[in-house]
Chains A and B, each alone.
Chain A
């Protein structure tokens, strides 16, 4: 892949001018397919860096592709019968922009010279407290430091913990009845059989609590089972074994 050094560009026109200058292209005969390719590579690079591509760049990408397509089609002609170069509007925009970019450079020189002249009342706008610390902090900061910091902030943002509260329609009373039904029918029941068809953990828990409750009330008794990790629940009549 072609590596593009990521300069700061003021916009898509600036970027195109950069390509034209770097590759010494003729602005009046721009190789559209070459420049479109480079433009798209730059956009992909921005994408890889996870920067949001400004709409202006996308618009230019679309414009370039449209020009590319029009270049392939039979030449259009204007009312005078002259061929219309699909690139004409783009070239005009580039030149117009270049013109003001140049003036910005002139302005920069004027600014530089003028800054050496100090007027009376020059310091009134100065902050009284020294912003030393802040300016020291801002030194050497690039846009990439900002992106890094931003991504770090996104990553380290405290996770929102959502506790879901589900309501179960299981009550201890219900399960007491359920257990008693079992023991009434067959005098005793194995615990594992009791919970065999229960899918939710909570139901088993509630049943177990109901079991303990019944033991406390002396309505059932519990005995070891021949099976490992199981026990037998049997019916008590007024606290006495049958």
Chain B
């Protein structure tokens, strides 16, 4: 691959509103410079690593991230509070416990119907599902072949972006029931430690994060 394409790839990722996939980058280059140009998906991947190294060496504030099956620029976490100062309350609002719970069920069991979600949660989930649909974190993926042909829900690319995932397979593995059986207390402890750390961190950032991190159940 010619050196110039490193910059072309960088410009495409920079200009794209949404995460742009490697194949899309290759297609754009071939469309302009011809099919015989020697640029592959692997070249794109390597270029991204090369660029990220450059940014790292020069102490740049951003990186190219692999998110939602594509590449996108993102700032480093340490500058979050300054950027947060500029953004409105709305973009700082976090998902509720109910929303996270429902998202988790959908993420692991997709495609899944509303009755199936409600069976697991033990509670009516109309409102939550609607608000997740509105936030574009889930989408209707079709209809089940069962009685009544209920709608099937699944996660979206926005979901992947929201949680910083490249693909669904990158989700942490849920514990098997047998496992919870053996060490539920251990996990509970681990979680508490994790939450405490976050809370402490948050207290340091309270000047920008007014909306508080809610650890209550």
Residues on A lying within 8 angstroms of B by beta carbon are 7-8, 10-14, 18, 21, 27-28, 54-56, 60, 92-93, 95-123, 125-127, 130-131, 135
Contact = CB atoms under 8 A, between A and B. Distances in A.
26 contacts: A10-B123, A13-B122, A14-B122, A27-B184, A54-B123, A93-B120, A97-B121, A99-B175, A101-B104, A103-B107, A104-B101, A104-B103, A105-B100, A105-B191, A105-B195, A107-B95, A107-B100, A107-B103, A109-B194, A112-B198, A113-B77, A116-B77, A119-B73, A120-B17, A120-B72, A131-B90
Contacts of B91: 122-123, 125-126
Interface string B83-103: 100111111101101101101
A102 B217 CA distance: 11
A107 B172 CA distance: 9
Nearest to B76: A117
A101 B101 contact: yes
A164 B90 CA distance: 53
Contacts of A131: 88-90
B34 interface: no
Contacts of A98: 180, 184
A126 to B, nearest CB: 5
Contacts of A108: 94-95, 100
A122 B161 CA distance: 12
B123 A13 contact: yes
Contacts, number: 152
Contacts of B95: 107-108, 111
B180 A99 contact: yes
Contacts of B123: 10-14, 54, 56
B97 A104 contact: yes
Q: Closest 9 interchain pairs by CB?
A: A11-B123, A116-B77, A116-B80, A114-B164, A13-B122, A104-B100, A103-B104, A104-B101, A117-B74
Contact of A106 (B77, B83, B162, B172): B172
Interface size class of B (residues with CB under 8 A): 35 or more
A135 B187 contact: no
Given A102-B175, A107-B103, A97 B120 contact: yes
A113 B80 CA distance: 10
Given A103-B108, A107-B103, A127-B90, A56 B213 contact: no
Given A11-B122, A123-B86, A117 B104 contact: no
A77 to B, nearest CB: 24
B65 A127 contact: no
Contacts of B75: 117-118
B124 A117 contact: no
A127 B89 CA distance: 9
A12 B108 contact: no
B122 A122 contact: no
Given A118-B83, A123-B86, A131-B88, A111 B162 contact: yes
A18 B83 CA distance: 38
Interface string B56-73: 000000000100000011
Interface string B160-199: 0111110000001011010011001001100100110010
Given A113-B77, A115-B94, A56 B124 contact: yes
B11 to A, nearest CB: 13
Contact of A127 (B88, B107, B187, B195): B88
B105 interface: yes
A198 to B, nearest CB: 62
B101 A100 contact: yes
